[in-house]
Amino acid sequence: MKNIYFVQANNVYGNDKRSVYIPYASGCIAAHAFADGKIKSECCLGGFVFTHEPIKQAAARMENPFIVAFSCSVWNYEYNKALAKEIKKVHPSAVIIFGGHNIRRDFGTLEECPEADYIIYREGEEPFRKLVRCLLDGEEPEAVENIAFRGENGYVKTEEKSYCLTDYPSPYLSGIFDGIADGKTNFSAILETNRGCPFKCAFCDWGSLGGRVRTFPMERVKAEIDWIASHGIEYVYCADGNFGIFDRDEEIAEYIISSKLSTGYPKSFRVCFTKNRTEFVKNICKRFNEHGLDKAQTLSFQSLSPDALENIGRKNISLEHFRELMNEYNRCGISTSSELILGLPGETKESFVGGICDLLEYGQHKAIQVYTCDLLPNSEMGSPEFVEKHGIKTVRTPFYQAHCNAFEKHEINEYNTTVIRTDTLSVEDWIYCVVFACIIQAFHNIGFFRAVAMYLRNAKGADYKDIYSAVAEFSANPENKACNAVYSLVKELATGMSQGRNAWAAACDSLGDISWQFDEIYFLKSLENADEIYDELEKMVCEGFGEDEEIRAVFDFQRKILKRPGEAGKIRIESDYDFYGFLNGIYEGKELPLKKKKTVITVEDKNNCTSLYDYACSVVWYGRNQAAALYISDCYMPEKQHQGGF
């Protein structure tokens, strides 16, 4: 029997309770291959490499490998190349096959990795199965679609083909993972209920693959959910590009809820919702929210610049419709999250700053995620023609996942290709936008300054762009020492990233051994020196608006509703003004005047976070989309006891 090994090295998350994604992509390839009678009769599943384990160790534990198949993504591509080289040293006759999203549809991988014998483009199940059969029979592989290899007269690339199969066997149900899902590893799972994407955003490679979106059989999907629950897997990431695009997704959602109610698993189910069925998706999200399954409903934009949207081939819902949705979600107590990408062609400093503040203006107060624009090998944006047309400049940045052990050194470093300049955005403007986004996320979304900003916007008539531009300018001034210390720290991180010195996530003093996103660092370092920063910001606001009783009261309220390490039990919050009613009215789209009214609220805080690190994990990492950093409620309940966080 010939041994076939699969390599899909994933990151390990956390420090105390460490978890890793099950190697789903490789499992799909293996399940389809071993469903073939010939392959099953002549080959054995040798095993998986699913973390960045030491290269010599990984190669040495492979016993007479016939084939080693690698799933290549940005987080494991360099590791894969190094491991392939070591395997060829130890097992020179082994056939090395590379596939996955990080494989360009040219001969680049063959040039970069001479140890790779074959590369597979697009979906891998059927090409891999056919290629293995050719290798078993000693036949030439020219008839196998979507592969490339070295021929006698140079590189050979076969015909490209899109597949529309829906009967692929499940890696969960076929026993492919039985050897690793033995309770020794804390796995997170991937669930794929459909495959494909109808959209063709230039920054993404899904739409470029072509083919229709097709669904996997419902009985398979439900059986996989049962498998996940039976193995006690807590976290599930849904790999669908647009969950909610099909009517049947409501049935899938209810089955997941039923599974959690009957078994306790999964505990969390993360999805990327489709953008064009807002009412349908809202109902699903409401059900998930009721049962604590999903952290937030996604209402993503990527950009609010008309020029950038045209360049990337994307259309968004209108901002007025977005406002209506935000009001409705807030009334229902459903958390939401909106995404932006920094560095899209056509975006300017002014449009990015204006766009992120427009999201606040239209009601997205709780969660805005900002991502760097990274060039994917098979995206339209990654093509040389697109890069030249839009004056795109990139830098090779180290790839670290946030919330992984920052000091756990791997033998091989991974890298992103990050856009730091276009013909409409300079490097200096890119750095400013990174820091400005961190201010919005830390001060407003996580909540350090949110109550004050919402008061200034709705009681004093200032707009969010002016408010946070003033905060940025004030914090950039070294004379304002407490604010400037945090601002300068994050600006240095952004500058380092623009020069390829550091990643989008970094370790930070007093925040444990894991890496944190820049916006999380901005918030947590502000928290360490909160009172001094509030003193400086209160002085800034009073200089701009004049010192009065309401401004002093709103800063006092903001200080009190900010959760801090070491606090637990019942927290009593008093104010001479009804800020609870005022703010909740804004969340729900009501314009209520601020009333001078004695308010006393008792909030129960059950998170006993004694250290800043515990606080960072519990409140900022796990709880940020639920505004866990604030003692504040969805509903106005004066003089009654209720749970904190919204």
Q: What's the pLDDT at 255?
A: 97
Q: What's the pLDDT at 419?
A: 96
Q: Is 622 exposed, middle or buried (0-12, 13-18, 19+ CB in 10 A)?
A: middle
Whether the per-residue pLDDT at 483 is higher than 50: the answer is yes
Residues in the chain: 646
Q: Is 399 exposed, middle or buried (0-12, 13-18, 19+ CB in 10 A)?
A: buried
Q: How far apart, in whole angstroms, are the C-alpha atoms of residue 241 and residue 199?
A: 10
Whether the per-residue pLDDT at 177 is higher than 90: the answer is yes
Q: How far apart, in whole angstroms, are the C-alpha atoms of residue 286 and residue 281?
A: 8
How confident is the model over 40-58, as a mean pLDDT?
Answer: 95
| Residue boundaries of the structural domains of the chain | 2-157, 186-294
CA-closest candidate to residue 391, choices 416, 417, 424: 424
Predicted confidence (pLDDT) per residue in 497-542, tens digit: 999 998 888 888 888 888 899 999 999 999 999 999 999 999 999 9
**Buried residues in 625-637 as b, exposed as e (16+ CB within 10 A):** bbbbbbbbbbebe
CB 96 within 8 A of CB 68: yes
Whether the per-residue pLDDT at 644 is higher than 60: the answer is no
Q: How far apart, in whole angstroms, are the C-alpha atoms of residue 466 and residue 457?
A: 9
CB 272 within 8 A of CB 240: yes
How confident is the model over 110-132, as a mean pLDDT?
Answer: 93
Q: What's the pLDDT at 636?
A: 34
DSSP SS3 for 628: coil
Other CB atoms within a 10 A radius of the CB of residue 302 amount to 23
Q: How far apart, in whole angstroms, are the C-alpha atoms of residue 408 and residue 127?
A: 36
**How would DSSP label each residue in 84-133?**
HHHHHHH-TTPEEEEESTT--SSSHHHHH-TT--EEE-S--HHHHHHHHH
The single-letter DSSP state of residue 412 is S
Q: State the residue for tokens 């009967």.
A: 167
Q: How confident is the model at residue 638 (pLDDT cuts 50, 70, 90)?
A: very low
Q: How far apart, in whole angstroms, are the C-alpha atoms of residue 457 and residue 109?
A: 53
The alpha carbon dihedral of 271, 438, 73, 385 has a sign of: positive
Estimate to the nearest angstrom the gap between the alpha carbon of 487 and the chain centroid. Answer: 24
Q: How far apart, in whole angstroms, are the C-alpha atoms of residue 518 and residue 525?
A: 10
CATH for 186-294, options being 3.30.750.210, 1.10.150.240, 3.40.50.2300, 3.30.56.10: 3.30.750.210
Q: How far apart, in whole angstroms, are the C-alpha atoms of residue 30 and residue 492?
A: 45
Least confident range from 95-99, 254-258, 442-446, 561-565: namely 561-565
Structure tokens belonging to residue 643: 């749970």
First-to-final CA distance of the chain: 57
CA-closest candidate to residue 131, choices 105, 155, 158, 91: 158
What angle (nearest 5°) sits at the alpha carbon of residue 53, between those of residues 107 and 124? 35
Whether the per-residue pLDDT at 137 is higher than 50: the answer is yes
* Average pLDDT score over the chain: 89
Whether the per-residue pLDDT at 296 is higher than 80: the answer is no
Predicted confidence (pLDDT) per residue in 561-592, tens digit: 999 988 766 788 889 999 988 998 898 888 78
Predicted confidence (pLDDT) per residue in 426-435, tens digit: 999 999 999 9
Whether the per-residue pLDDT at 496 is higher than 70: the answer is yes
How confident is the model over 240-266, as a mean pLDDT?
Answer: 95
- Could you confirm whether domain 2-157 is CATH 3.40.50.280? yes
Q: How confident is the model at residue 16 (pLDDT cuts 50, 70, 90)?
A: low
Q: How far apart, in whole angstroms, are the C-alpha atoms of residue 54 and residue 257?
A: 39
Bridge partners, residue 630, by sequence? 562
CB 406 within 8 A of CB 427: no
Within 13 Å, how many C-alpha atoms sit on residue 182's CB side? 5
Whether the per-residue pLDDT at 380 is higher than 70: the answer is yes
Contacts of 89 by beta carbon, 8 Å cutoff, 6+ apart: 59
CA-closest candidate to residue 193, choices 333, 313, 42, 24: 24
The model carries a pTM of: 0.87
Other CB atoms within a 10 A radius of the CB of residue 475 amount to 27
Strands (E), 432-513: 505-506
Whether the per-residue pLDDT at 397 is higher than 80: the answer is yes
Q: How confident is the model at residue 281 (pLDDT cuts 50, 70, 90)?
A: confident
CB 177 within 8 A of CB 171: yes
Q: Is 643 exposed, middle or buried (0-12, 13-18, 19+ CB in 10 A)?
A: exposed
Q: What's the pLDDT at 553?
A: 96
Q: What's the pLDDT at 205?
A: 76
Structure tokens belonging to residue 171: 């890696």
Q: What's the pLDDT at 62?
A: 96
Q: What's the pLDDT at 634?
A: 34
Question: Which is higher by pLDDT, 66 or 11?
Answer: 66
> Percentage of residues in the chain with pLDDT exceeding 90?
61
Question: Which is higher by pLDDT, 160 or 200?
Answer: 160
Q: What's the pLDDT at 592?
A: 83
